[in-house]
């Protein structure tokens, strides 16, 4: 479609008045499809009025508007046009008139700046900034979707060879042959790999007329704007970079170098996978071909439209210059850039870690992974391999969720200070967070790690009850400070440990599959154990001041406490004057599926709850929530000041995480996927002698492997073999439990039903293989 030029400036002015109540002067602008006008008010405010060609689909325009609205809340808000609603609050003004087909008018903010095409001086810093901006754009759009973006589009780079029917429009036979050869190569080398590339909605037209450069600060390398979202499309994400490179290489003295600067910038923000790097040169050439085919077609059908032909001559020069040698050279340069960016080899990093980082930190897998990027439920390594992350419960709403990232970036750019100043975010977050708890849990303390939260929980309990005596569960881990190491047998009875402190008393894990009590009433019998322990302590004149347990037991082997246990244990400890601490550092925030907090699934309300890991989706923050009574006891006159806890950035991030859980329905999603997982594992269990027990709640699951269903001999080496084989198939899992024989599953909550099906299928196959050889 092309501009109709049916609209006069007077008509544009009257539309602005009618729709938006603006008194403006209009000036026509060049456009590819829309009739565009720049509007200026008397007081100097500027806008762009865009009028779509007749017959443009409503859905398609809505898609552009939604994309811009989505970006308005992202770190790119400053460089993309803002959509301005009409006086009636509409984003589109329907137009009647000349044509019977619908036309739409919409208004955008006007971004000042000079098109890059008119900027001769392009320092590497500017080009890198363009690359970084394109990468940020792609990251910001990664979670955006709209039906209008899924369309057949001639300018979809992934379907380039489809345009070959236009080859006959190219007059010169040698040029015709050149384009034909490139399209054939595209079909042979790119098309077969398209399905392996990450796909998302992209801008799809970062050409040198759509990139605006700040005129006064060119020396300062400022990109002022990215305009024209008229080509927005769901396609291979890497097309974004390829398209920009194709245009940015036009008429340059050293086109490859210019492209490499852009690619370096892009890669520093959104690292390219190996496949993306390999296909990039062919994709760049593909875009040149499409552009030349359409300008040949345009010249045939409309010899007077100069806009269509604006870059034709330099395009041919560039395409003719992109010989196989040049393309190979570009490929090598790209590989170099991606290697040399911030990249050290895995061996080099390990060696630095060995020399300069405390040795008490093991690395996952015998052949460690170097993970360079995360998105949603996926992690990507430096070789471009994609892994489904099934164990990271920290990146709760998905790795690098754009809404959370944007909230943090925005606040970080505005203010980050301590909580001795008043700030809206803290008040809002305290309200939101405590609002998610049942009464009387209504007072929170903000800290930075799960360890700090549990350490503070111990202090609260001790100040309230005036004793350190505590009942914990065997094999528990609550954190790495001395106060927590000495009460957690996972650490203090392991290598380097010094045993339980005399004030700590460990009761058996309420595991109805393995352990002293089994069967349907096991929970009550485990509860009796705690009651007996409490009674003995009372007889010894040392009644417990606290009971501390994870609501669902992680390090202990992904155990769902047997029914009856928690209410009975809580009652016994409370009867002795103690308080109950639920450690929800791993399992809170909807993971349990049926409830937002895992303790709610157990029929208890704790006195103190500790939160961590998922609370900030990877940002270091944590919290303690307690009752007004316990908080009052702690108010002794000694201040509780935490330099970083509750700062405005953390609170902005915490709020964003809560918003995503709510807006994406992640709690219900966890319940549904949990049921799918359980059903799948239970279905395969009869076929696998290694599967001893399958258990879980929501997206917190464990599959216990045993060699013998009577003795329950743990199948630990087999469990490790499953983990390794799954890793080779692109799934990151790990084992847990005192006997290292439980496959643990606690993925980011944005996993999909298709992911679950793939995990089940692969575990099924891997177990079959391992069972055949052991
Ligand atoms: C149940 C539980 N509590 C507390 C912690 C300690 O949290 P952090 O590592 O943030 O200090 C952990 C960490 O693994 C945990 O799993």
**For position 234, what pLDDT does the model report?**
97
Q: Residues 341, 349: contact at Cβ < 8 Å? A: no
Among 584, 586, 609, name the best residue to mutate to test ligand 1's pocket (greatest count of ligand atoms within 8 A of Cβ): 586
Tokens found for residue 270: 């959104």
pLDDT at 97: 60
CB 579 within 8 A of CB 621: no
Q: How far is the CA of 286 from the centre of ligand 1 (A)?
A: 50
Q: Read off the pLDDT of each residue in 184-196 and give the average, rounded to a whole number.
A: 94
Q: Compute the distance between CA of residue 372 and CA of residue 588 in angstroms, rounded to an integer.
A: 27
| CA neighbor of 98 nearest in space, from 179, 28, 7 | 7
Residues in the chain: 774
CA-CA distance, 555 to 391, in Å (whole number)? 13
Mean confidence (pLDDT) of the chain: 93
Residue that wins the pLDDT comparison between 729 and 218: 729
Give the Å distance between the CA of 743 and the centre of ligand 1: 19
Strands (E), 426-565: 443-447, 470-473, 504-507, 546-550
Q: Which atom of ligand 1 is nearest to the CA of 452?
A: 11
Closest ligand 1 atom, residue 449 Cα: 10
Contact 718, 365 (CB under 8 A): no
Q: Which range has the worst mean pLDDT, 4-18, 568-582, 704-718?
A: 4-18
Find all residues with CB under 8 Å of 56, minimum gap 6, and list them: 1, 33, 102, 103, 104
**Confidence (pLDDT) at 456:** 98
* Ligand 1 pocket mutation, candidates 396, 449, 451, criterion most atoms within 8 A of CB: 451
Residue 632: CB partners within 8 Å, gap ≥ 6? none
Q: Which of 478, 557, 608, 644 is the pocket-test mutation for ligand 1 (most atoms within 8 Å of CB)?
A: 478
Which residue is it, tokens 């216990």? 704
Q: According to the model, what pLDDT value does residue 217 have?
A: 41
Q: Is 618 in the pocket of ligand 1 (CB under 6 A)?
A: no
Please enumerate in sequence order all residues whose Cβ is within 8 A of that of 686, keeping only pairs 6 or more positions apart, or say none: none
- Contact between 159 and 183 under an 8 Å Cβ cutoff? The reply is no
pLDDT above 70 covers a percentage of the chain that reads: 96
Residue 479 beta carbon below 6 angstroms from any ligand 1 atom: yes
pLDDT at 534 over 80: yes
CA distance 128 to 260: 9
Residue 610 Cβ < 6 Å to ligand 1: no
List all residues 6 or more positions away from 565 whose beta carbon is below 8 Å from its beta carbon.
510, 523, 524, 526, 527, 530, 602
Closest CA to 272 of 333, 222, 221: 333
Atom of ligand 1 at shortest distance to CA of 612? 10
Rounded Cα–Cα distance for residues 608 and 151 (Å) = 53
Residue 477 beta carbon below 6 angstroms from any ligand 1 atom: yes
Q: Convert the pLDDT of each residue in 260-276 to its tens digit.
A: 999 999 988 888 888 99
3-state secondary structure (DSSP) of residue 49: strand
Kindly state the tokens that stand for 715: 């199948």
**Is the bond into 244 cis (omega within 30 degrees of 0)?**
no
How far away, in angstroms, is 418 Cα from ligand 1 center? 24
Task: Tell the residue nearest (CA) to atom 8 of ligand 1.
Answer: 450
Is 627 a pocket residue for ligand 1 (Cβ < 6 Å)? no
φ, ψ of residue 389 in degrees (nearest 5)? -85, 115
> Cα–Cα distance between 130 and 115 in angstroms, integer?
13
Please give the DSSP secondary-structure letter assigned to residue 386. E
- Please tell me the distance between residue 256's alpha carbon and the centre of ligand 1 in angstroms: 49
511 Cβ inside 6 Å of ligand 1:
no
Q: How far apart are CA 406 and CA 410, in angstroms?
A: 6
Show the 3-state SS of 418-453. CCCCCCHHHHHHHHHHHHCCCCCCCEEEEECCHHHH
Residues in Cβ contact with 488 at an 8 Å cutoff, skipping those fewer than 6 apart? 472, 476, 477, 478, 479
Ligand 1, pocket-test mutation among 613, 622, 623, most atoms within 8 A of CB: 613
19 CB less than 6 Å from ligand 1?
A: no
Let me know the angle formed at the C-alpha of 156 by 106 and 380, rounded to the nearest 5 degrees. 105
Interatomic CA distance for residues 179 and 92, integer angstroms: 40
Residue 625 phi, psi dihedral angles, 5° rounding: -120, 130
Q: What residues have CB less than 8 Å from 55, skipping those under 6 apart? A: 1, 99, 101, 102
Q: Is 586 in the pocket of ligand 1 (CB under 6 A)?
A: yes
Evaluate: CB of 451 within 6 angstroms of ligand 1: yes
SS3 360: coil
Residue 327 has pLDDT above 60, yes or no: yes
700 lines ligand 1 (CB under 6 A): no
What digits encode the pLDDT tens for the residues 96-140? 765 567 788 999 999 988 999 988 888 888 899 899 899 999 989
Task: List the structure tokens of 237.
Answer: 């994400």
Centre of ligand 1 to C-alpha 305, Å, is 65
Q: Whose CA is nearest to atom 14 of ligand 1?
A: 479
> Mean pLDDT over residues 741-759, rounded?
97
Ligand 1 in reach of 478 Cβ (< 6 A): yes
Indicate if ligand 1 lies below 6 Å from the C-beta of 375: no
Phi, psi (deg, nearest 5) at residue 36: -115, 145
Please tell me the distance between residue 670's alpha carbon and the centre of ligand 1 in angstroms. 21
Nearest one of 634, 239, 303, 195 to 457, comparing CA atoms: 634
Ligand 1 midpoint to CA 609 (Å):
13
- The arithmetic mean of pLDDT across residues 201-219, rounded, is 82
pLDDT category of residue 218 using cuts at 50, 70 and 90: very low
pLDDT, position 182: 95
Please name the residues in contact with 619: beta carbons below 8 A apart, sequence gap of 6 or more.
Answer: 404, 408, 649, 650, 653
The residues, any chain, with a CB within 8 Å of residue 434's CB and separated by 6 or more, are 441, 442, 443, 444, 625
112 exposed, middle or buried (CB, 10 Å; 0-12, 13-18, 19+)?
exposed
Q: Give residue 613's pLDDT.
A: 98
pLDDT tens column, 332-378: 999 998 875 556 677 778 877 887 888 888 888 878 888 888 989 99
Q: How far apart are CA 639 and CA 503, in angstroms?
A: 26
Neighbour-count burial of 606, counting CB atoms closer than 10 A to its CB (0-12 exposed, 13-18 middle, 19+ buried): buried
Token representation of residue 387? 């892994």
30-34, 39-43, 221-225, 437-441: least confident range: 30-34
Query: Separation of 479 CA from ligand 1 center, angstroms?
Result: 5
Q: Which two tokens stand for residue 702?
A: 């464990």
The distance from CA 292 to its chain's CA centroid, rounded to whole angstroms, is: 37
- 83-92, 463-472, 608-617: which range is least confident on average? 83-92
471 CA to middle of ligand 1, Å?
18
Ligand 1: nearest atom to the Cα of 587: 1
Residue 573 CA to residue 534 CA, distance in Å, equals: 7
- Contact of 702 with 736, CB cutoff 8 Å: yes
Contacts of 566 (CB under 8 A, 6+ apart): 510, 527, 549, 551, 599, 602, 603, 604
- Best mutation site among 450, 610, 622 for ligand 1 pocket (most ligand atoms within 8 Å of CB): 450
Question: Which residue owns the Cα nearest ligand 1 atom 16?
Answer: 586
Taking the CA of residue 451 as reference, the ligand 1 atom at the shortest distance is 11
Q: Largest Cα–Cα distance in the chain?
A: 101
Query: Which of 457, 430, 435, 432 minimizes the C-alpha distance to 631?
Result: 457
pLDDT in tens, 281-299: 999 999 999 999 998 988 8
Looking at residues 558-567, what average pLDDT do you find? 97
Does the pLDDT of residue 382 top 80, yes or no? Answer: no
Contact 227, 196 (CB under 8 A): no
Ligand 1 centroid from CA 610, angstroms: 10
Distant-in-sequence, close-in-space partners of 667: CB < 8 Å, separation ≥ 6: 590, 593, 595, 596, 661, 698
Ligand 1 in reach of 449 Cβ (< 6 A): yes
Q: Give the pLDDT band of residue 310 (cuts 50, 70, 90).
A: low
Which tens digits make up the pLDDT trace of 406-465? 999 999 999 999 999 999 999 999 999 999 999 999 999 999 999 999 999 999 999 999
**Measured between alpha carbons, how far is 406 from 403 in angstroms, rounded to an integer?**
5
Both tokens of residue 400? 């690098």
- Phi/psi of residue 89, each to 5°? 80, 15
Q: How confident is the model at residue 4 (pLDDT cuts 50, 70, 90)?
A: low
Residue 674 contacts residue 697 (beta carbons within 8 Å): yes
Pocket test for ligand 1, best of 472, 585, 611 (most atoms within 8 A of CB): 585
How many A from CA of 194 to the centre of ligand 1?
A: 41
More confident residue, 730 or 349: 730
Cα of 681 vs centre of ligand 1, distance in Å, is: 28
- Predicted confidence at residue 307, as pLDDT, reads 61
Contact 92 CB / ligand 1 (< 6 Å): no
> In whole angstroms, what is the distance from residue 668 CA to residue 767 CA?
30
Cβ atoms within 10 Å of 530's Cβ, excluding its own: 26
Nearest atom of ligand 1 to the alpha carbon of 454? 4
Distance 480 CA to ligand 1 centre (A): 8
Rounded to an integer, the average pLDDT of 594-603 is 98
Q: Indicate whether 247 pLDDT > 90.
A: yes
Which of residues 97 and 314 earns the better pLDDT score? 314
Pocket lining: 488 vs ligand 1, CB cutoff 6 Å: no
Q: Which residues pair with residue 109 across a beta bridge?
A: 47
pLDDT for the residue 628? 98
**Side-chain half-sphere CA neighbours of 774 within 13 A:** 21
579's tokens: 């308080």
Ligand 1 centroid – CA 429 distance (Å)? 22
Rounded to the nearest angstrom, the distance between the alpha carbon of 556 and the centre of ligand 1 is 13
């Amino acid at each position: 479609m092309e501009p109709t030029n049916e609209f006069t400036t007077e008509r544009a002015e009257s539309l602005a008045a009618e729709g938006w109540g603006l008194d403006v002067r209009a000036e026509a602008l060049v456009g590819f499809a829309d009739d565009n006008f720049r509007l200026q008010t008397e007081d100097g405010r500027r806008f762009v009025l865009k009028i779509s060609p007749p017959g443009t689909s409503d859905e398609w325009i809505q898609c552009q508007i939604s994309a811009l609205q989505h970006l308005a809340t992202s770190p790119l808000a400053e460089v993309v046009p803002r959509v301005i609603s009409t006086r009636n609050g509409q984003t589109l003004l329907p137009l009647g008139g000349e044509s019977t087909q619908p036309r739409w008018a919409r208004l955008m903010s006007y971004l000042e700046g000079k098109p890059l095409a008119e900027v001769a001086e392009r320092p590497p810093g500017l080009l890198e900034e363009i690359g970084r901006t394109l990468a940020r754009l792609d990251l910001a759009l990664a979670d955006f979707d709209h039906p209008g973006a899924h369309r057949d589009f001639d300018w979809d780079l992934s379907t380039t060879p489809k345009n070959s029917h236009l080859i006959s429009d190219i007059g010169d036979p040698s040029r015709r042959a050149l384009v034909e050869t490139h399209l054939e190569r595209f079909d042979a080398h790119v098309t077969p790999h398209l399905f392996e590339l990450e796909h998302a909605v992209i801008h799809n037209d970062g050409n040198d007329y759509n990139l605006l450069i700040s005129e006064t600060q060119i020396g300062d390398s400022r990109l002022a704007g990215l305009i024209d979202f008229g080509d927005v499309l769901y396609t291979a994400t890497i097309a974004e970079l390829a398209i920009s490179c194709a245009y940015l290489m036009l008429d340059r003295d050293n086109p490859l170098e210019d492209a490499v600067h852009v690619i370096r910038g892009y890669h520093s923000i959104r690292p390219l996978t190996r496949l993306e790097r390999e296909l990039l040169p062919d994709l760049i050439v593909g875009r040149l071909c499409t552009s030349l085919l359409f300008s040949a077609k345009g010249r045939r059908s409309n010899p007077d439209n100069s806009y269509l032909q604006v870059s034709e001559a330099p395009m041919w020069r560039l395409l003719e210059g992109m010989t196989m040698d040049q393309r190979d050279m570009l490929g090598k340069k790209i590989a170099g850039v991606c290697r040399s960016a911030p990249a050290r080899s895995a061996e080099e990093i390990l060696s630095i870690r060995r020399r300069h980082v405390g040795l008490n930190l093991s690395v996952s897998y015998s052949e460690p992974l170097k993970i360079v990027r995360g998105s949603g439920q996926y992690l990507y390594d430096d070789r471009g391999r994609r892994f489904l992350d099934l164990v990271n419960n920290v990146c709760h709403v998905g790795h690098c969720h754009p809404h959370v990232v944007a909230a943090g970036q925005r606040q970080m750019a505005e203010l980050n200070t301590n909580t001795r100043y008043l700030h809206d975010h803290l008040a809002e977050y305290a309200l939101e967070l405590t609002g998610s708890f049942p009464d009387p849990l209504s007072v929170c303390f903000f800290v930075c790690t799960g360890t700090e939260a549990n350490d503070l929980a111990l202090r609260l309990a001790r100040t309230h009850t005036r004793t350190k005596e505590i009942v914990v569960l065997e094999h528990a881990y609550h954190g790495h400070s001395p106060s927590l190491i000495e009460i957690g047998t996972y650490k203090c009875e392991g290598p380097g440990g010094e045993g339980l402190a005399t004030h700590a008393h460990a009761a058996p894990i309420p595991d109805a599959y393995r352990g002293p009590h089994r069967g349907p009433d096991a929970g009550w019998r485990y509860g009796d154990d705690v009651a007996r322990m409490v009674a003995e302590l009372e007889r010894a004149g040392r009644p417990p001041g606290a009971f501390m347990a994870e609501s669902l037991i992680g390090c202990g082997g992904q155990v769902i406490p047997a029914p009856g246990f928690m209410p009975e244990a809580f009652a016994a400890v409370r009867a002795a004057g103690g308080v109950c601490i639920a450690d929800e550092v791993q399992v809170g925030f909807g993971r349990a599926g049926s409830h937002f907090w895992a303790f709610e699934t157990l029929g208890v309300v704790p006195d103190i709850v500790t939160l961590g890991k998922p609370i900030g989706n990877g940002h270091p923050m944590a919290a303690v929530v307690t009752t007004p009574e316990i908080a009052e006891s702690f108010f002794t006159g000694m201040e509780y000041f935490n330099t970083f806890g509750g700062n405005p950035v953390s609170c902005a991030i915490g709020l964003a995480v809560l918003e995503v859980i709510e807006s994406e329905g992640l709690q219900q999603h966890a319940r549904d996927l949990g049921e799918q997982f359980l059903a799948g594992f239970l279905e395969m269990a009869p076929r696998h002698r290694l599967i001893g027990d399958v258990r879980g709640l929501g997206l917190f699951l464990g599959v216990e492997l045993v060699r013998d269903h009577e003795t329950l001999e743990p199948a630990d080496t087999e469990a490790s073999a499953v983990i390794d084989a799954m890793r080779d198939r692109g799934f990151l899992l790990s084992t847990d439990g005192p006997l290292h024989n439980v496959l643990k599953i606690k993925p980011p909550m944005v996993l999909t039903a298709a992911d679950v099906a793939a995990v089940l299928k692969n575990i099924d196959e891997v177990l079959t293989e391992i069972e055949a050889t052991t």
